Structure 1
Amino acid sequence: MDRELSDEVIVVGGGVVGLTTAVVLAEGGRRVRVWARESGERTTSAVAGALWWPYRIRPERSAGEWALESLAVYAELAARPEETGVRLVEGVHGGLRLNRLGPWAARVPGLTDTAEGVSARLPLIDMPVHLAWLRERLDKAGGTVEKRVVFGLGEVPAAAVVNCTGLGARSLVPDPAVRPVRGQLVVVENPGITTWYTSVDAPDGRPGGGSEEGFEEGSEEGVSAYFFPQPGGLLLGGTAEEDAWSLEPDPDIAAGIVARCAAVRPEIAGARVLGHRAGLRPYREAVRLERELLPDGRVLVHNYGHGGAGVTVAWGCARQAAGLVDPGPAA
């Protein structure tokens, strides 16, 4: 191995999980590079609706702890929304009751049962701004981001490698247990809506879903409608199509999304459409967050399979992953 790289950590994957992990490692004293196939703006993270909520993620207990740890970080970042992209916004999970949630919910400030559902004031993250802020924070800590295509984790020339490749882990590890769950969004001009909303139980009986919202830990139940007020427009959703790989927005699906959201807030029906988005959530029956020793003695840490909750658990998972890389200063 190249002596120059003997104490370096390379994080493979430039989405929110990879960048957050790199920040934790760099601020813990490690030399860090991020190898990313796509830039932050082109990752799955960039198209996320990004409401903090444990959605489509397992195992339940660990996911709850990772989410709560991340919630504390986002609450602090919300003091600087223009810089970090994080705001605390009021909203309602329509049709949900507190007794359907896991133990983590009792530790979330302000969750309240109402006639409409569970109301809350939660972090809502403007992902393009947040990803840019993470890259800037990494740069200040001495880390770098490089555009690199990796064909195998064993080829990465570093003493420690952290695999944050999301759906890419399906071929890189390889791990066929990682599967895509496709989500589609419609972005419209905001007609004056300042609160977020989600509803459960899709009319066709299939799981729906947004990019970062959810209802029960590990639940396959999703949403039939949601809207999130972001600085660039009102984000409408959503879908959760298992094993669907297309990134091309479907006009019929888009029309259904708008109609479902307009049934909740009629003013959405006349809102001008600004754009369409589609992304693939990297779902796995359980997040893989573990350490592996390669035959040559190098450390490989896996941190992938976060489903629809990558933003929600990013900081909790990043800190645990950093501890697996080095139980000393970066833990």
Structure 2
Amino acid sequence: MSDRVAVIGAGVIGLSTALELAAKGRDVTVLADADSLESTSAVAGAVWFPYAAERSAAVDAMLATTLERFRRIVADHPEAGVDLRTGVIVERSPEPDRSWTAWVDATAVDASELEAIELPAGATGLRTTVPLATMSLYLPWLRERCAGLGVRFERRAVDDVDALARAFDVAVVAAGVRSGSLLGDDASVVPIRGQVVRVENPGVTEFVIDDDDPAGLTYVLPRRDCLVLGGTHEVGATSLEPAPAIEAGILERCARLVPAVAGAPIVSRAVGLRPGRERLRIEEVPGRALRSIAAYGHGGSGMTLSWGTAERVAALLE
């Protein structure tokens, strides 16, 4: 295949798509104004779990695809930084959405089988085992795999997709929260601010996620290099500076959920802007100077839908 493809964005969606296209023989260049480790993907919780993304048959298929791909990565590439982690999903709704368990191995058990100390008062929950990525390892691994297949990387800002027509035949727009304005035909993308605190791990081995904590989104995620404590879901907020008051709330909620993390030394802080959209957009965009594919709107499920997105983009191009 001789098509020259520009993938705009070097986060988990951009890199996964670039790798998938290169593996299918495409001539791929990744264009981004920041390194992968400076992207929103580097801030993400990076656990396979659908969060702030649409529910549809197409997305369900992408969940299954991504889960299977991560299982293969865990088995074949331990250096990638992806692990199968066991943890608890806390539920506070009388009828919680457990549809995601259809793709997980039979590792989830009824909340009544959990120790009471593992759940907040009045909550239910599931214990499950899913992929969790250490993004400081996984993103560089993706980039190295891309480079091994001949993918080129250019660090530059793209403000006009049509201007790429002189050098490329296809543009894949995977620029996260900037994607809608970059294409100029979609004002529906809303930033969803997420703030995290990374601390030294005092020995926590299981993750805990409580999306519906009345005090705010709360999660404790053990990675290989640290423990990620979060988080926030601030629709429309755009500040990339960590807020001390918000950090204090995160630390308090996480310590209440997992007492072992109380007082853990802080390693770093980070903020990212999730690309919120009512519906995921993976489609060809007509009327451009070169063939253009939109690949954005993943909300908080970029890692969770990454390989499904990559395969869908590849199918569109074929």
- Give me the TM-score of the superposition, normalised by structure 1: 0.87
Q: For structure 1, which segment, 305-314 or 165-174, has the greater mean C-alpha deviation from structure 2 after superposition?
A: 165-174
Partner of 1:11: 7
The reply to whether residue 40 of structure 1 matches residue 36 of structure 2 is yes
1:162 is aligned to 2:172: yes
Partner Cα separation in structure 2 for residue 102 and residue 271 of structure 1: 32
Please tell me whether the aligned partners of residues 16 and 310 of structure 1 are also in contact (alpha carbons under 8 angstroms): yes
Residue identity opposite 2:213 in structure 1: A
Q: Which residue matches 2:196?
A: 185
Q: 1: distance between equivalents of 2:126 and 2:162? A: 46
Q: Distance in 2 between matches of 1:32 and 1:101?
A: 39
The separation in 1 between residues aligned to 2:279 and 2:85, in whole angstroms, is 29
Aligned to 2:122: none
Give the letter for the 1:63 counterpart: V
Q: Which residue of 1 aligns with 2:313?
A: 321
1:306-317 → structure 2 map (5 Å cutoff): 306-317=298-309
Are 1:153 and 1:172, in contact at CA under 8 Å, matched by a contact in 2? yes
Aligned counterpart in structure 2 of residue 150 of structure 1, from 142, 150, 158 = 158
Q: In the alignment, what sits opposite 2:88?
A: 92
Query: Following TM superposition, by how much is the alpha carbon of 1:200 offset from its aligned partner in structure 2, in angstroms?
Result: 3.5
- The amino acid across from 2:178 in the alignment is G
Check whether the contact 2:204–2:260 (CA below 8 A) recurs between aligned residues. no
Q: Do 2:28 and 2:152's aligned partners in 1 also have CA atoms closer than 8 Å?
A: yes
Change (3 A) 1:271 1:11: same
Match of 1:57 among 53, 56, 72: 53
Task: State the SS of the aligned residue for 1:32.
Answer: strand
Q: Structure 1 residues 32 and 182, CA, compared in 2 at 3 Å: closer, same or farther?
A: same
DSSP-derived class of the 2:297 partner:
strand
Q: Which residue of 2 aligns with 1:127?
A: 135
Deviation at 1:145, TM superposition (A): 1.3
Partner residue of 2:238 out of 245, 270, 288:
245
Distance 2:188 2:234 in 1: 16
Shift of 1:61: 2.5
Quote the offset at 1:103 in angstroms: 4.0
Q: Percent identity?
A: 39
**Which segments of 5 or more consecutive residues in structure 2 lack a partner in the other structure?**
113-118, 120-124
> Which residue is equivalent to 1:303?
295
What is the total number of aligned residue pairs between the two structures? 303
CA 1:56–1:295 in 2, change beyond 3 Å: closer, same or farther?
closer
Give the counterpart letter for 1:165 in structure 2: A
Whether 2:108 is the aligned partner of 1:111: answer yes
In structure 2, do the counterparts of structure 1 residues 254 and 152 end up closer, same or farther at CA, with 3 Å as the change threshold? same
Residue 275 (structure 1) shift: 1.5
> How far is the alpha carbon of 1:173 from its aligned partner?
1.5
CA distance in 2, matches of 1:51, 1:103: 17
Structure 2 equivalent of residue 213 of structure 1:
none
CA contact (8 A) 1:6 1:159 kept: no
Residue 135 of structure 1, CA deviation: 0.8
Query: 1:10-29, aligned counterparts within 5 Å?
Result: 10-29=6-25
Tell me by how many angstroms 1:230 deviates. 1.1
Q: Which residue of 1 aligns with 2:267?
A: 274
Contact map agreement 1:161 1:299 (CA 8 A) in 2: yes
Most deviating of 280-289 and 102-111: 102-111
Query: Per the alignment, do residues 186 and 104 of structure 1 end up closer, same or farther by CA in structure 2, a change over 3 Å counting?
Result: closer
1:288 is aligned to 281
The whole-number CA distance in structure 1 between the counterparts of 2:295 and 2:234 is 23
Q: Which 4+ stretches in 1 moved above 6 angstroms?
A: none
Deviation at 1:97, TM superposition (A): 7.7
Tell me the secondary structure at the aligned position of residue 255 of structure 1. Answer: helix
Pair 98,67 (structure 1): closer, same or farther in 2 beyond 3 Å: farther
Residues 98, 63 of structure 1: alpha-carbon distance in 2 compared, 3 angstrom cutoff: farther
Gaps of 5+ in 1: 209-222
Q: CA deviation at 1:108?
A: 1.6
Indicate if the aligned counterparts of 2:172 and 2:292 stay in contact, CA closer than 8 A: yes
**1:37-80 deviation digits (Å, cap 9, x = unpaired):** 11111000011111101110114322221111000011111125
Q: Cα distance, 1:98 vs. partner?
A: 11
